[in-house]
Amino acid sequence: MTKLAYIFPGQGSQAVGMGKDLFDNFAASKQVFEEADDALGFALSEMCFGGTAEDLALTANTQPAILTVSIAALRAMESEDFPKPDFVAGHSLGEYSALVAANAMSFSDAVKTVRRRGTYMQAAVPVGTGAMAAILGLPLETVEVACAEAAEGEICSPANINSPSQIVIAGNAAAVDRAIELLKERGAKRAIKLNVSAPFHCDLMFPAQARLAEDLAEIKFKDLRFPIIENVSAEANTKGERVKTALTEQVSKPVRWAQTVENLINETVETFIEVGAGKILSGLVRQINRDVRCLNVENAESLKMSLGSLGSREV
């Protein structure tokens, strides 16, 4: 029997206007935005629907905004009787959306936590001190060796292992620059600096990780109703007691997205639904395996199309 996975995007998927169509068309989605505004004490919904791209790109805003749009899309799907997933997974921040979908934590706890997570991650490294870069067309082993050589006593390491041909590195800005030059010499198709506000998923994030751990310690996580494939281990988990550790370690450890998708496919997942803004994860899944089906839900139209496509799902 083929299986279904819901996957949830992370930072980079944001766009002004996201979620407005869901808000207008689904009462369950509207309620999510209202709950987010109440939990955060400001109009996150207005920032999503008609704010500035600059404000939305601030990490402390981006993280709760993407989470809220994902859960608004999820609630719309539930209201339209989408089939339940066999697995869930999320890319970095998206892991929180996946945990809400699996009933491991409340949406209110999640949106407040990722707001603080974004603040902590931004504050961990002074602006300009760190950097991230996308490396295309080289295997992980080559990237790891070049990062180690480029570090020269600083931090430089893989941060997002997104697909066999796309790896993002992070660390001190000078070390990342050195790694870019080494990787270009070693055959990278592209090695380009990313326009990000902090070097996520590397050891420079330890101060943020410590602060987040204190917040996570206050939250009661429940056992999951669907297994989640974790970013840190790329392995399945259903235990609430494990979630705190995974979310804490995730701040400074690489996102093992390629392995996550491969493990889902090994579990006979043949259909992936990207829940929330954009189609970035769908593109990565296709880079990993072109034989699986990728759908997405970010507005009423894509919801209708995906539901229709699922009607032909083989079981």
Of the candidates 13, 45, 92, 97, the residue annotated as catalytic is: 92
For residue 92, indicate whether it is catalytic: yes
For residue 91, indicate whether it is catalytic: no
Q: Which of 201, 205, 245 is nearest to 10 (CA)?
A: 201
In degrees, rounded to 5, the angle at the alpha carbon of residue 90 between the alpha carbons of residues 87 and 94 is: 140
User: Can you tell me the distance from the alpha carbon of 160 to that of 167, in angstroms, rounded to the nearest whole number?
Assistant: 6
Of the candidates 201, 233, 252, 306, the residue annotated as catalytic is: 201
**What sign for the dihedral angle of Cα 86, 91, 92, 94?**
negative
3-class SS at 206?
Answer: helix
**What amino acid is encoded at 141 in this protein?**
E
| Strand order, beta sheet including 293-297 | 236-237, 228-229, 87-90, 3-8, 269-275, 293-297
User: Can you tell me the distance from the alpha carbon of 70 to that of 163, in angstroms, rounded to the nearest whole number?
Assistant: 22
Which active-site residues does the annotation give? 92, 201
